[in-house]
Structures are given as structure tokens and as C-alpha cells.
A and B are shown apart, each in its own frame.
Chain A
Amino acid sequence: MNSSRKRICAAALVVGLSLTAAAEAQQSGDAIERELETYRSMLKADPWSNPGMLDVDRGEALWKTPAGPKNVSLEGCDLGLGAGKVDGAFARLPRYFADGDRVMDVETRILWCMEKLQGFDRLKLITRPHPAAGMPVRDLGGIATFVASRSNGQPFKAAFTEPREREALALGETLFYRRSGPMDFACSTCHADSGKRIRLQALPVFSKPEEARNSVGQWPAYRVSTAHVMTTQHRIYDCLWQMRLPEVELGSEVSVALISYLVKQAEGGEINVPGIKR
């Protein structure tokens, strides 16, 4: 390869690298989406090989193993269908639990059981509960991923009949549309209009049930960019963090309300977790 071709190759590479993002943006959105679909379908092709399955396995072991100061397993935990009954429980959450006198999503409920049944310190469980990039999901999230996977193939069917459940749903919808914080963002700023994207990431429109049904059922999801499973509570936390809103606490009324709204929008949509995503 003579030196002028070498220079052209090197220059082309540098130019190619810097223009790639801009060039893709200018290219037809459909063409890019098609190429990205190859990547996404290669990742999804073999659900067995989804690294999130390692957390499902770990979560199952944690569910069955005695732990905490009281040294009991979580098999006595009632997720809404009776003590220890895991299959189908996630599909019916969030729901009102009389023992805690509040509405809980799956992670809030597991937090409850880890505290009340196993004797864990609740403050420790909700302090820095979500993994940093490169770290695996923590025990609570791993258990939640396992529990959620036991509703795979089922549709979201949380009833929202109990008054407190309806309140959570109403609060979730209000919060979804309410602009606040220094950027004046609401969830709806990004997730209520078609055709919106952040860089190359197309954003699901949760205000449209048909899009919510395709999207919500993939969470918890293994994210390749951070090499860990991101649970739904973590996803909400991260969104609000990016919106420059105050940190949302694991299991807080706000987090459960937003999850309730998303699950209601996704009603009838199939659960298929862990998803695998960028």
C-alpha cells in the first residue's frame, strides 16, 4: 500500500469516525433502524444466553436460601397470591397489601419481606440500592428479576380495583405529565410524542397503550452498556436522575405510582423478562 493511499485510508477512517453519528442522523431513519435491528435480534436470538438469566438463577437461589438476622428464606413471602407463590405474582403487581397498608410493586414487596421476614435493615437495603456500571444487580434486584421471570408469557393484569390502587394509578398519571425540576421535564416530555429520540435511541411513547405493551414487559432488562440487569425501580430512578429531579427512593410512593401508571398502560401486554437492551 503506497503512502498516499495510506494517508487516504487513515484520513477516511478519522473522517468516518467523526461523521458516523452525524451521517447516520442524516441518513433515513428507517435504514438505520433496520441495521440496528440486526444487532438487537442477534442479542435476543437466544434467550438462554441473556446474561440477565444469571441473575434470574441467582435470584432464585436467594429466594430459597435462609438469610438475614432471622435466618429464614423468602419462601414465606406473600407476593399477593399467597405465601411462597411466585408464578404469576409479578403479572398482578402493583397491588395493595393490607399488612403494610400500602400499594407495592415487586421490588417494594420484596424489600418488605426482606425486612419483616428476614430481619434485614431496611435503610441498608434502600441506600445505594442500584448497581454501578459493570457491577451486577444487587440481591434485592436479582430476586425481583427471578420473581418477574415467573410471569413470563403472561399479560400484565394488575387489577387496580382497590381504592388505594386507584389512587396510586391517578398519582402516577399526574406525575407522568407534570413538568418540574430545573429542566422543566415531565416523563411526557420524552415519552408522550411519536418520533422522539435521544441520539440514536428511539423513545417509547408510554401514553400510547400499544407502545407501552411492547416496551414495559421487557423490564427488568439486561443492559449491555452497563453489563447488568436494570430493574424497573432502577429504570425510574435513572430517568428521574437524568431529568435532574430529586433522587427517588426505592419503594417510595412516587416510584410505585409511576410503575402503576406504566403497568396500566401496558395492560394486556406480554411479560418477557429479562429483556436485553443497549
Chain B
Amino acid sequence: MPAKPRIRLPQTARIGEVIEVKTLVAHAMEIGNRRGSDGNTIQRLLLHTFEATFAGKEVFRANLHTGTAANPFISFFMKVLGPGEFEFTWTEDGGAKITERQPLNVT
């Protein structure tokens, strides 16, 4: 059973405030040049893209490459323009996606 990604948002936010959003996802981020215990090369498998939308609009995006460490931690900022829900999507080599949603409590 893989772990759900961790999302950290402030408990509440005011319109106009710039908030910090933290994300943490479990993934080996295999770079494709390690050898397993059987001596064979472990195939490359990365989460290559991270997208964050808020109220349906993209607010932040990242392309992750081999230089990104396993279990990627990404923290970024957003100016609160109104109420809404965050949707976070991590896309793996091959197209599989991990998605998490979390609403933001805007006062």
C-alpha cells in the first residue's frame, strides 16, 4: 500500500496573502544507472512533472530530472485571490499519475 502524498497548507488564509504550499511524495526516482542485487540495471522511472492548480488555474509547475532526490519534496508560494481547491498531480515516466486534492480555507 503506497503512502498518500503529504500536503501542507495553512489552516486559513486571507485574500491577498501569499501562502506557502509544501508537498512530499513517496517515489524512488530511479535514474536508470543503478544496479539491483541481481546485477541488472534498474530501469529509469522518474516523476517527471509536478503540477499545482488552484480553482482550476495552474499556479505552479515543476519538471523534475535525474538530479532530483528520491521522495521529492517541493515547496512553493501562491497569492490567494479567492476561495478554491488545490489539485496536485505528479506524472511518472510512462504516464501514470498521482493526484491529490485539498481545499484552502479562505476567510
Contacts and interface: CB of A to CB of B under 8 A. Distances in A.
Q: Determine whether A and B are in direct contact in the complex, meaning some CB atoms lie less than 8 angstroms apart.
A: yes
B1 A62 contact: yes
A111 to B, nearest CB: 18
B24 A227 contact: no
A49 interface: yes
A227 B70 contact: yes
B30 A134 contact: yes
B97 interface: no
A227 B22 contact: no
A20 B37 CA distance: 30
A53 B6 contact: yes
B4 interface: yes
A134 B70 contact: yes
Contact of A54 (B24, B37, B42): B24
B42 A134 contact: yes
Contact of A49 (B1, B22, B37, B42): B22
A51 B24 contact: yes
A48 B26 contact: no
Interface string A36-65: 000000000010110101110110011001
A251 interface: no
A224 B29 CA distance: 13
B71 A51 contact: yes
A62 B2 CA distance: 10
Interface residues of A, number: 19
A139 B22 CA distance: 26
Measured as residues with beta carbon below 8 angstroms from the partner, the interface class of chain B is 20 to 34
Given A58-B1, A58-B2, A51 B26 contact: yes
B6 A48 contact: yes
Nearest to A226: B70
Contact of B3 (A46, A54, A65): A54
B62 interface: no
Given A48-B8, A49-B24, A134 B34 contact: yes
Given A48-B6, A53-B6, A227-B70, A135 B1 contact: no
Nearest to A57: B3
B73 A49 contact: yes
Nearest to A134: B28
A132 interface: yes
Contacts of A136: 26, 28
B30 A227 contact: no
A58 B4 CA distance: 8
Contacts of A58: 1-3, 26
Interface string B63-81: 0000001110101000000
B100 to A, nearest CB: 12
B6 to A, nearest CB: 6
B46 to A, nearest CB: 13
Given A65-B1, A132-B37, A48 B22 contact: yes
B5 to A, nearest CB: 8
Interface of B: 1-4, 6, 8, 22, 24-26, 28, 30, 34, 36-37, 42, 69-71, 73, 75
